[in-house]
């Protein structure tokens, strides 16, 4: 039997974000939040992150830029830690955030640098 999108997504999501974080997110999902957890796992992680067209490092670069531009600090911090897991260096992350500052504005860049610095410090990086 082939894996479901949820199973494929759960595997990749755990590899990228860490099993502890993912398992806690799923365990804490109540009836209201469960559909969002399932959607994220199936669609984002099962359909997109498993595609062969881009490697995980490239996907992390794209996520960092988009989350910075969208001003989503919680997700940015999460994906900054994941970017390290996916092979980015602190220097490469800084380059992504400088690109954001140039094209999305200095306030977006400043907030992104601040949030990512905090996330990397929390991770001991």
Mean pLDDT by 10 residues, the chain (125 residues): 88 97 97 97 97 98 98 97 97 98 97 98 94
What is the structure's pLDDT at 3?
82
Map 31-55 to HEC letters: CCCHHHHHHHHHHHHHHHCCCCCCC
**pLDDT on residue 1:** 55
11 to each of 6, 18, 50, 112, 124, how far by Cα in Å? 9, 10, 10, 28, 24
The pLDDT value recorded for residue 43 is: 96
Domain 54-125 homologous superfamily, CATH: AhpD-like (1.20.1290.10)
Q: CATH 1.20.1290.10 in the chain, residues?
A: 54-125
């Amino acid at each position: 039997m082939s894996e479901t999108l949820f199973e494929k997504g759960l595997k990749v999501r755990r590899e990228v974000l860490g099993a502890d974080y993912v398992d806690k997110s799923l365990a804490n999902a109540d009836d209201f939040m469960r559909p969002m957890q399932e959607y994220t796992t199936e669609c984002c992680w099962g359909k997109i992150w498993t595609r062969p067209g881009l490697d995980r490092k490239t996907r992390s670069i794209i996520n960092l830029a988009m989350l910075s531009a969208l001003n989503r600090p919680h997700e940015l911090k999460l994906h900054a830690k994941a970017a390290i897991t996916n092979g980015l260096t602190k220097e490469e992350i800084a380059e992504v955030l400088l690109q954001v500052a140039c094209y999305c504005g200095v306030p977006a860049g400043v907030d992104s640098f601040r949030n990512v610095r905090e996330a990397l410090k929390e991770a001991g990086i």
